[in-house]
Amino acid sequence: MYGAPVTQQVRVRFTVEPNYAGWRLDRYLQEKIRRLSRERVQRLIAQRLETEDGRRLKPSTRVAPGLSFALLKDAEAEPDTPQEFGVVHDDGALLVVDKPAGLPVHPTARYAANTFTSLARLRYPDRKVDPAHRLDRETSGLLACGTAPEVTKVLKRDFAHARVHKTYLALALGAPVEDAFTVDAPLALTGASAVRVRMHVAAEGLPSQTAFEVLGRRRAPDGAPVALLACRPRTGRQHQIRAHLAHAGLPMVGDKIYGPDEEIFDRFTRRAMTDGDLALLRLPRHALHAWRLELPHPVTRAPVRLEVPLPPDLAAFWEGCAP
């Protein structure tokens, strides 16, 4: 089921997370809405920003954790997104859902109402459902949420202190030489790429490490080698698994940013992708799935271990590859 395009004026709401304490407001928003320039962000702050108490904020304002504000978004049609998500675990405090590919977690420049956080507010009006970590819009799988501020605070602290272990499944183009390998390469938003959100391996980047295990090797219908990988990020950088696979010469199937041609991403943002682009990608979305989650319960501290299988689109692609 998909939602109808949204045409009314909407407010895109933000609440500053602890790891952004002390950042300038304009830098914080540019981090959250990567497609916008610093100048555009500063204009939005001056013309479109609302706070709960009516206080005026400047681009240079230093943000504090918990600061809430909204940006007014012009009335325009939002792209359709899935409107349903599966519940994997719900004990009243910890909520873990199976997020479908195509559903953004938080509001962005393009999506305001058609997001998981908006859907969760409608589905659970008496609970303050707040995701404790990120999943890219195209990534499917497990998303852990608190249902009250004090629970979410503990969850986010556990993620920040590496007490939560995440394992993803990915389909990558190429034939890994080893059955298990680790990519240890710093990542930064630098380089000559025209894609503003693309992460690059760079000496000045943040330490980034991902462990990979080959679960299977097959060939796509066109003969290209494809690997099914278990991916265990040991750090939590943006696009880490995708960037590390590309760095290892194993680009993810369907990846518009780190795949065969980054200009595909530009055409995607302009809704101008071609049949040739789709053929080159092999899948309309990147083949990454949040498969397994192991964490201490935010209230009882008892160990919790959850899994969700590959969704139908990725499973069908893998089954369509020859052993």
Give 280: exposed, middle or buried? Use CB within 10 Å, 0-12, 13-18, 19+: middle
Are residues 39 and 151 part of one domain? Answer: no
| Residue that is last in its domain, among 73, 99, 116 | 73
Mean pLDDT of 174-196: 86
List 98, 136, 255, 277, catalytic entry: 136
| pLDDT top residue among 32 and 277 | 277
Condensed to tens digits (0 to 9), the pLDDT of residues 23-81 reads 999 999 988 876 678 888 999 999 999 998 889 999 999 999 889 999 887 656 778 89
Kindly state whether residues 283 and 185 are assigned to the same domain. Answer: yes
Whether 160 and 299 map to the same domain: the answer is yes
- How far apart (Å, rounded) are the C-alpha atoms in residues 124 and 113? 15
249 occurs within a structural domain: yes
Q: Is 136 a catalytic residue?
A: yes
Reading the block at residue 299, the tokens are 């209230």
Mean pLDDT along residues 292-312: 98
CA 12 to centroid of chain Cα atoms? 17
| One domain, residues 174 and 194 | yes
Tell me whether residue 313 is in a domain: no
Shared domain check, 219 and 160: no
Note the pLDDT of residue 316: 98
> Do 146 and 58 fall into the same domain?
no
C-alpha 128/C-alpha 117 separation (Å) is 10
pLDDT of residue 6: 47
Instruction: Indicate if the pLDDT at residue 112 is higher than 80.
Output: no
For residue 144, being part of any structural domain is answered with yes
Is residue 232 domain-shared with residue 155, that is, in the same domain? no
The contacts found for 282-285 with CB under 8 angstroms, 24 or more apart, are 282/173, 282/220, 282/253, 282/254, 282/317, 283/171, 283/253, 283/254, 283/313, 283/314, 283/317, 284/254, 285/101, 285/102, 285/138, 285/254, 285/313
- The length of the chain in residues reads 323
**Average pLDDT of the chain, as a whole number:** 91
Alpha-carbon span 281 to 261, nearest angstrom: 9
Q: What is the CATH number of the domain that holds 65?
A: 3.10.290.10
Assigned domain for 106 exists:
yes
**179 inside domain:** yes
Q: What is the pLDDT of residue 190?
A: 64
> Which two structure tokens, joined as six digits, stand for 33?
């809405």
Give the pLDDT confidence score for residue 192 in this predicted structure: 57
List all residues 6 or more positions away from 241 whose beta carbon is below 8 Å from its beta carbon: 168, 170, 210, 231, 233, 252, 288
How many Å apart are CA 111 and CA 118, to the nearest integer?
A: 10
Quick check: 257 pLDDT over 60?
Answer: yes
What is the CATH number for 211? 3.30.2350.10
Ramachandran sector of residue 22 (left: φ over 0; alpha: ψ -120 to 50; beta: rest): left
Lowest mean pLDDT among 11-15, 125-129, 215-219, 288-292: 11-15
Kindly report the pTM of this predicted structure: 0.81
Judgement on whether residues 158 and 183 belong to the same structural domain of the protein: no
Q: Indicate whether 181 and 35 sit together in one domain.
A: no
pLDDT of residue 248: 98
pLDDT of residue 218: 98
**Contact by Cβ (8 Å): 110, 88:** no
Q: Do 272 and 178 reside in the same domain of the chain?
A: yes
**Does residue 39 belong to any structural domain of this protein?**
yes
Is residue 155 scored above 50 in pLDDT?
yes
Q: How many CA atoms lie within 13 A of 252 on its CB side?
A: 29
Q: Is residue 79 in a domain? A: no
Provide φ and ψ at 277, rounded to 5°. Answer: -60, -45
The answer to whether residues 67 and 114 belong to one domain is no
Work out the average pLDDT over 97-108: 93
Of 158, 131, 161, nearest in space to 146 by CA: 131
Output DSSP code: residue 20.
G
Domain presence at residue 153? yes
User: Cα separation of 293 and 308, whole Å?
Assistant: 9
Do residue 304 and residue 280 come from a single domain?
no
> Mean pLDDT, to the nearest integer, of 140-145?
99
Chain position carrying tokens 């680009």: 251
pLDDT at residue 9 is higher than 70: no
pLDDT at 2 over 70: no
Dist CA 69 CA 181 (whole Å): 43
Domain count of the fold of the chain: 3
User: What residues make up the domain containing 155?
Assistant: 86-164+295-308
pLDDT, one tens digit per residue, over 188-247 is: 986 556 677 889 999 999 999 999 999 999 999 999 999 999 999 999 999 999 999 999
Q: What is the pLDDT of residue 164?
A: 98
Q: Is the pLDDT of residue 282 over 90?
A: yes
pLDDT at 20: 85
Share of the chain above pLDDT 90, in %: 70
